[in-house]
Amino acid sequence: MTAVNKDPFVYSRNKDGKPVMFKGLVQAGSTQAIKRGEICVWDETTGYWVPVDAVADHRYWLAIAAEEQKASGRHELTASRYIDFYALHPDDIFELAIATATGLAYGDPYTLTASDSQKLTAAAGAFAVAIAVGDGHYPQEEDTTIRNQSYGLFSFNPAVTWWGNRMSQEVRTGRKVIAMAATGTLLESDMYNSLILISGTSVITLPAVKPGMDAIFINTDGADQSIDPNAADKIRLDGALLDNGDKISQTTVGYYCNLITESADGFCCIAPVGTWTDGS
């Protein structure tokens, strides 16, 4: 659906009533126009904020554009630049369209909508990026029927937002699920509160260690699989600190390892199931 300029911010539960915002880098409008109110994602490959176009975009950090990046017009309003974004603090509330009109209940989980950057879809078991927080459509007095509506008020899950990943030290709720088939390289954002499902003969390369990283890796098919840290990082396995850049490996379905940041030097594998070995 074609995006339109519509500011979705409604109110904030912060003391001053103002939303948390930040400046995000966007491409020239001729390459990627952005409307005010579009849910956007940090594209780590290009280094710019772009509108979401897939449900799986919650793998990356989310924010909502608070101003427009025009496709054409005055140069200073169309060139690559920094524009205002809503950081999606959990106390900031936004009104967004939903894919299917329903009697939206307080706390209902919602996820992104494919090919529509201004609409949410009922999660139905998928990872929730936002929860419904409005009750203005609830029945009054003795009625018990919640009115159907095609939009709702939402608070975003800090596990997938710019605010949650850059500004918060709070415990994140729920794990992102990321499937890795064959050899692949994880992004920094993949390493926070994630479940990594590995299939096929694989070498999964980690980004450089950062504070607070926490990811579970599990073998889903019994293939020969390895986790390869950055060349300057170590992994502590079974209490012993391995050498810089040494992989850990296993070949049994169901084996898993929870990697958490131990220090600036690397990770610790805690609560491993099965035998993991030093792959050097």
pLDDT of 125-161, one tens digit each? 667 899 999 888 888 777 788 888 999 999 999 888 9
- Residue 48, pLDDT score: 95
Mean residue pLDDT of the chain comes to 90
Note whether 211 and 100 are same-domain residues.
no
Whether residue 143 sits in one domain with residue 18: yes
Q: Which has the higher per-residue pLDDT, 45 or 178?
A: 178
Q: Which of 171, 202, 228 is the last residue of a domain?
A: 171
The predicted pLDDT at position 173 comes to 55
Give the β-pairing of 214-219 and 192-199.
parallel
189 in a structural domain: yes
Instruction: Encode pLDDT of 104-120 as tens digits.
Output: 888 888 999 988 999 99
Q: Please tell me whether residues 142 and 37 are part of one structural domain.
A: yes
94 assigned to some structural domain: yes
The answer to whether position 77 is within a domain reads yes
Does 280 map to a domain? no
Choose one of 171, 188, 210: the last residue of a domain: 171
User: Which pLDDT belongs to residue 245?
Assistant: 95
Q: Which of 171, 186, 205 is the last residue of a domain?
A: 171
Query: Per the structure, how many domains does the chain have?
Result: 2
CA 65 to chain centre: 16
**In the prediction, which pLDDT does 171 show?**
43
Query: Is the confidence at residue 257, as pLDDT, over 70?
Result: yes
> What b/e sequence results for 118-140 when a residue is b if at least 16 CB atoms lie within 10 Å of its CB, and e otherwise?
bbbbbbeebbbbbbbbbeeeeee
What pLDDT shows up at residue 125?
64
74 assigned to some structural domain: yes
> Is 159 a member of any domain?
yes
Pair (219, 107) in one structural domain:
no
Same-domain status, 201 and 244: yes
104 with 118, same domain: the answer is yes
pLDDT value for 132 = 94
**Across 52-137, where does the E strand assignment appear?**
62-65, 81-86, 92-102, 109-113, 116-122, 130-132
Residue 183 structural domain: 175-275
